[in-house]
């Protein structure tokens, strides 16, 4: 029996499938966002968020579309980060969802921030986050 943990590439593949499953109206904007899968959040993100390495499974880093102006100059690309090790820990702890379900929910949640939705907005339509 193979007990190898899913790789960052495998998690990225699930996340990209989640983007392609978004309603058509959202796909072009979502495809324009960088998607990064790494084992843990970078130190600067942990410092800025005052978080511990296993606390974050994902993060939207950018300016939500509802706050962008054509006059703004982007200093870096909008990015959705997925953190492999915390995702795998949550998946193992839950034990009642597939990896695809978990990664899809995290991905959609982070892209919802890109579209300008708050955590409260997301929770109102997705009981997973309540």
Q: What is the CATH number of domain 8-61+78-129?
A: 3.30.2010
> Which among 79, 60, 66, 82 is positioned nearest to 14, based on CA atoms?
82
pLDDT in tens, the chain (130 residues): 567 889 999 999 999 999 999 888 889 999 999 999 999 999 999 999 999 999 999 999 998 888 887 777 767 899 999 999 999 999 999 989 999 999 999 999 999 999 998 878 777 766 665 4
pLDDT at 1: 56
pLDDT at 122: 77
Half-sphere exposure of 101 (CA within 13 A, CB side): 11
Spatial distance between the Cα atoms of 82 and 102, rounded to a whole number of angstroms: 11
The first and second tokens of residue 55, run together, are 């606390």
CB 113 within 8 A of CB 60: yes
Q: What size, in residues, is the chain?
A: 130
pLDDT at 88: 97
Sign of the C-alpha dihedral, residues 11, 87, 80, 38? negative
- Domain borders along the chain are 8-61+78-129
DSSP 39: S
pLDDT at 65: 86
CB 54 within 8 A of CB 75: no
pLDDT at 123: 74
């Amino acid at each position: 029996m193979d007990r190898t943990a899913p790789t960052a590439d495998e998690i990225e593949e699930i996340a990209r499938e989640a983007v392609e499953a978004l309603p058509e109206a959202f796909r072009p904007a979502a495809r324009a966002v960088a998607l990064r899968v790494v084992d843990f959040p970078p130190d600067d993100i942990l410092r800025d968020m005052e978080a511990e390495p296993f606390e974050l499974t994902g993060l939207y880093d950018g300016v939500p579309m509802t706050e962008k102006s054509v006059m703004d100059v982007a200093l870096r690309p909008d990015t959705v980060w997925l953190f492999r090790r915390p995702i795998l820990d949550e998946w193992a702890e839950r034990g009642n969802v597939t990896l695809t379900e978990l990664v899809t929910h995290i991905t959609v949640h982070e892209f919802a921030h890109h579209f300008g939705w708050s955590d409260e907005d997301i929770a109102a339509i997705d009981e997973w986050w309540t």
